[in-house]
Amino acid sequence: MHANKVVFCTGGGGTICSAQVQALVSLGANACIVGRNEEKTNNVAEKIASTRNGSHVLGIGNIDVRKLDSLQAAVRQCIQTLEHINYVIYGAAGNFLAPIDKLSANAFKSVVDIDLLGSYHTLKATIPHLLESAARNTNPGRTIGGRIIFISATFHFTGVPFQAHVASAKAGVDALSASVALEYGPHGVTSNVISPGCIQGTEGMERLSSKEMRESGSAGRDVPLGRYGLVKEVSDATVYLFSETGNYVNGHVLVIDGGAWRLPGLDDISKGFTYPDIVLQGADLQGDIKTGRRSTSNI
């Protein structure tokens, strides 16, 4: 199904994106994953390559998605090694909990630059190759190639406390994907969004919830399906969109969250506090929630 196709993925060293790429590689694709940390990116690339004998998975580190020339260099290296790009996943992201009154302008800008500007840079760097891929597949019923997925979120659907920076950036990502779908759809390129909810075992969960919450017996009970999601379920959605099953899907936002986006979100993020108490009482957002930042951050 994906034999000899190439997927280019930013944030490829992350839990969700590496699983997405691994699923495609297991089905015959080759891949190029890029990230900030060179050692981590190369290690993950080797792990993904072990999924299928004969696969080629290139890891490129020291890439800053906020800089167009950095991504263009990565794309050139990918083309030199793997010859073409058929699929693109934009998964690089920044996130942490922060009330607006403690969210600096630099911190807000940093997340917008990574999530939204990075999405645009990836599009600009890869779209010539996606257009070539789409042009090579002229059978509408069997087109596989020339497809991009942006990884978004659901925070901006209703608004969520302490996520103003991420919600604003992801709303922009959704809007960007819609424009891509309209402008490049006539050329055979599809653009869609995957918006994961609470997915078990991911860094996102560590940044947005306490360990006590995640390991409690009631974890995930507020999700309509009664549990948190699995990384595999995001990968399954990726395979769907990048396979013949997704041939006629364009400009869509595919939410993978068990229906949770239809309910008020991010209540019990820290030791039993719920909305509006967590806002009114100034509950401690730190605890054991992973911030990814030093205690004296420059952001």
Active centre residues (catalytic): 152, 170
CB of 89 closer than 8 Å to CB of 151 = yes
Non-local CB neighbours of 30 within 8 Å, separated by 6+ positions: 4, 5, 6, 7, 55, 56, 57, 82
Give me Rg for the CA atoms of the chain: 19
CB of 30 closer than 8 Å to CB of 56 = yes
**Rounded CA separation 136/131 (Å):** 9
Non-local CB neighbours of 128 within 8 Å, separated by 6+ positions: none
Neighbouring CB atoms inside 10 A of 283's CB total: 16
Instruction: State the residue for tokens 């403690």.
Output: 102
148: tokens are 């991009």
Instruction: State the residue for tokens 């054991």.
Output: 288
Residue type present at position 272: G
Q: What are the phi and psi torsion angles at 185 (to 5°)?
A: -55, -45
**Rounded CA separation 47/276 (Å):** 44
CB of 194 closer than 8 Å to CB of 149 = yes
| Strand ranges inside 11-114, DSSP E | 30-34, 57-60, 87-90
